[in-house]
Amino acid sequence: MTFQNTLEFAQQLDAKDSLSKYRNEFHYPQVAGKEVIYFTGNSLGLQPKRTQKYVDEVMKDWRELAVEGHFYAEKPWWDYHERLANGLAKVVGAKPGEISVMNTLTVNLHLLMVSFYRPTQKRFKILCEEKAFPSDQYMLQSQVRFHGFDPKDAIVEVKKRKGEHFWRKEDILQKIEETGDELALVLIGGVNYYNGQVFDMGTITKAGKAAGALVGWDLAHAAGNVALKLHDWDVDFAAWCSYKYMNSGPGNASGIFVHEQHLGKKNLPRFEGWWGTKKETRFLMEPEFDPIDTADAWQLSNPPILSLAPYLASLELFDEVGMEALIQKQQRIVSYLEFVLHEIDKAVASSFEIITPNERGCQLSVFLHGEGRALFDHLMKNGVITDWREPNVIRLAPAPFYCSFTDMYRFGQILKSGILNK
């Protein structure tokens, strides 16, 4: 398709968009009485309107049933978390039994590392990407120190090539091969938070396993954004937050994946808690842990129902639309955004540099050479909610559920005015 940078053309694309009706399923902040153009679904997704109903339902059951809500609520709290497994399995390419929801992302990564980072004096190294999200860096460093290793020796970072803003797959595969039988674990962010690059998770997983390592993924920016096939790729474990592309609310519960090959094993090391025991024996208060035969075995405590209710509401939307349709729109709207950026770049004789490679999901990260924080402030004051990263990068993530092609056109005009009128 040949794009045009006109309001009429953008509106035509919206008219043909089968997902356009889902804009009405979300609440939008307003600036100067108008709905914002929201580009930060990669940080916090908008609130689905149906969320309130799900939360009110839990509040009503708590008010009217109190403790009996565990068993007699319309959606009993006893097994509430299990309702999320089928929907999440479709989103991440898993079997329902390989899915659980609990805690928050970094907590879950630490818990999974207990099981899947089992270093020896010879095989102790962890491979990750250069400048991973800080929480991942801190988590990895603390884990290797906990096991008595120096992070400088144990953590192997794959670097970008000089002058490039993305990682090359061949460099990752080469580093895996070089590390060889010293490699205990590969743990990378499936979609890089800064440049929006989507890694070839299937190929990297295969290479890591061939080297004798276990392989896990931080899917914070991948879940609900890109196509995932965790089971088929033979990934050992993964975790993700739910408040970005999955729209479950700030700081909400994290999902985990544990491949079925690791399930039902009593001798697998893990930190254990009451809610990970088999349901049939849980209330017998037995002294020995008897793990559930699913990923729920990694649960420690009973789940936070008020946190899971918004997640369940959002998953209902994902189930209605399906990841295939979301990704189709994502690819088109991101391509249109890229086109608009290039058109504005030409119009203002500026120098934009899109540092996101073609392997991408919703996000485009853009170097605004010659521009400063004042341009970001102009965008925000004019109703464009985006993200600024030093020194002069804006991250734009047009989530397909609630962003429109008209938004992309309007953004271009606001960006243009901010540059020309400074």
The reply to whether 397 and 304 lie within a common domain is no
- Same domain (yes/no): 292, 397: no
CA distance 156 to 164: 19
Is the same domain home to 229 and 93? yes
| Length of the chain (residues) | 422
Query: For 269-278, how does the pLDDT look when each residue is reduced to its tens digit (9 = 90+)?
Result: 999 999 999 9
Last-in-domain residue among 300, 321, 342: 321
Inside any domain, residue 42: no
pLDDT of residue 351: 78
Q: Is the same domain home to 30 and 73?
A: no
Q: Is residue 363 assigned to a domain?
A: yes
What is the CATH number for 368?
Answer: 3.90.1150.10
Owning domain of residue 372: 7-35+322-420
Res. 252 pLDDT band, cuts 50 70 90? very high
Residue 421 — very low, low, confident or very high, per pLDDT cuts 50/70/90? Answer: confident
> For residue range 192-243, what is the model confidence (pLDDT) as tens digits?
999 999 999 999 999 999 999 999 999 999 999 999 999 999 999 999 999 9
Residues 339 and 399 in one domain: yes
Same domain? 254 vs 367: no
In this prediction the pTM is: 0.96
Mean pLDDT of the chain: 96
Which of the listed residues 321, 344, 362 is the one where a domain comes to its end? 321
Asked if the structure places residue 287 within a domain, the reply is yes
Render pLDDT for 41-88 as a digit per residue (tens, 0 to 9). 999 999 999 999 999 999 999 999 999 999 999 999 999 999 999 999
For the segment 258-270, the average pLDDT, to the nearest whole number, is: 95
Give the domain-ending residue among 265, 300, 321.
321
Q: What is the pLDDT of residues 117-144, one digit of tens each?
A: 999 999 999 999 999 999 999 999 999 9
What are the start-end ranges of the H helices in 286-352?
305-321, 323-348
Concatenate the DSSP letters of all residues of 48-64 into one string: BTTHHHHHHHHHHHHHH
- On whether the CB atoms of residues 123 and 181 are closer than 8 A, the answer is yes
